[in-house]
Structure 1
C-alpha cells in the first residue's frame, strides 16, 4: 500500500517578490486540449483529433490575504506575458517520508481582481485570475511541461511537440 504525495506547504512569487504568509490559495492551471471528433467512412466510431490547446487557455487563480497594491499596479498590463508568477509547492508522501518539489512558472496578465468583502475587524482577501501565455511545470528539477503560446513552443516530457510544424512553416 502507498500513500499519495500531499501538499505540505506552498508559496507564490510575483515578479520575484514572495507572498510567503500572504498567499492563501492557488488553483493550478488545468492542462486542457481542444479536441474535435472525426468519423469517416469505414470507422465504427469517432476519434478525436488534437487541435492544440483548449480555447479556454491557461489560467492561474490565486487568493491573497489583506490588501496588495502590486497586483493593482499590474492590472491592464499591455504585454500578454507582462507578469511573472512562480508557484512552489512542498509535497510529501507520508508512508515513505519522501519530499517532492513542484514548481509552476507562468507569464501572463491579470484578467480579474476580486476585491472581496471589506468588514472592519474581519479577514479580507483578494481573488486574482491571471490568464497565461506561458506555462512551465517542473518536478524535482525536471521540466515536464513547457508551453509558450506566443512563441509556438510546446515541450512535453522532453519532446518538442511542435518542432515539425515549425519546420514546415519555416519558423
Structure 2
C-alpha cells in the first residue's frame, strides 16, 4: 500500500515566486455542461457532453507584494499563475519519494480586496480569478488541460477536441 500526502505549495504570479505570501489556493473545479438528448426509438433520455462551465480560482494572501497587487488589480489583463507542490509517497518503510505537482492557470482578476486590518492579527486578502486556461501535471504526466479560448481539451495528453477544431477550420 502507498499513501500520498500533499502538504505545501508555492504560487508564482507572472513567473515570479510569491513564496511565503500566499496562505491558501483553491484550484479550478472542472464542471462539464451536459445537454439533454432524447429521440424516438430511445427508451429514455440521456445527457451528452456540451462543453465546460466557467472556472475560477481563489488565492488567499497573507499580504502580497506590490507587483502581485498590481497584477491582481488589472481587470483587463490575464494573470499567469503557476502553483507548485510536492506529493510525498509513503510505504511501510517510510517516505519512498516525492513527486512534483504543477498547476498552470491563466485568468482575469475578478476581485481586488483592500483587506481588513486588526491589532495583532495577520491581514488576509483574497483574490478571485475567472479562469480561461488550466493544466494539471503530476510527476511530469499531463492529467488534464483546458484552454477555453482555443477549444483545447486534453486528458492524459490526448487532444479530445482535435477533430472538432479541424472540422471548424480552427
Structure 1 unpaired stretches of 5+ = none
Aligned residues: 166
* Alignment partner, residue 162 of structure 1: 161
SS at 1:168 equivalent = helix
The residue that corresponds to 1:48 in the other structure is 47
Distance 1:40 1:98 in 2: 53
Q: Deviations over 1:77-111 (max 9, x none)?
A: 324xx211000111112335332211001111111
Q: CA RMSD in A?
A: 1.8
Q: Distance in 1 between matches of 2:111 and 2:90?
A: 37
* 1:58 and 1:132 in contact (8 A); partners too: yes
Tell me how far apart the structure 1 counterparts of residues 45 and 59 of structure 2 sit (CA, whole Å). 38
Which whole-Å CA distance do the structure 2 matches of 1:97 and 1:127 have between them?
Answer: 35
Aligned-partner Cα distance in 2 for 1:142–1:67: 31
Q: Which whole-Å deviations, capped at 9, do the CAs of 1:121-170 have from their partners, x for residues lacking one?
A: 21111101111111111111122222211122222212111111111111
User: Which residue does 2:66 correspond to in 1?
Assistant: 69
Deviant stretches of 4+, over 6 Å = none
Deviation at 1:116, TM superposition (A): 3.3
Runs of 5+ consecutive residues of structure 2 not aligned to the other structure: none
Equivalent pair of 2:24/2:59 in contact (CA under 8 Å): yes
Alpha-carbon distance change, 30 to 160 in structure 1, aligned in 2, over 3 angstroms: same
Which secondary structure does the structure 1 equivalent of 2:25 belong to?
A: strand
TM-score relative to the length of structure 1: 0.87
Q: 1:67 to 1:159 in 2, by over 3 A?
A: closer
CA distance in 2, matches of 1:97, 1:45: 50
Q: TM-score if structure 2 supplies the norm length?
A: 0.87
Query: Residue 132 of structure 1 aligns to a residue in which SS?
Result: strand
Cα separation, 2, equivalents of 1:133 and 1:67? 23
Distance 2:75 2:110 in 1: 10
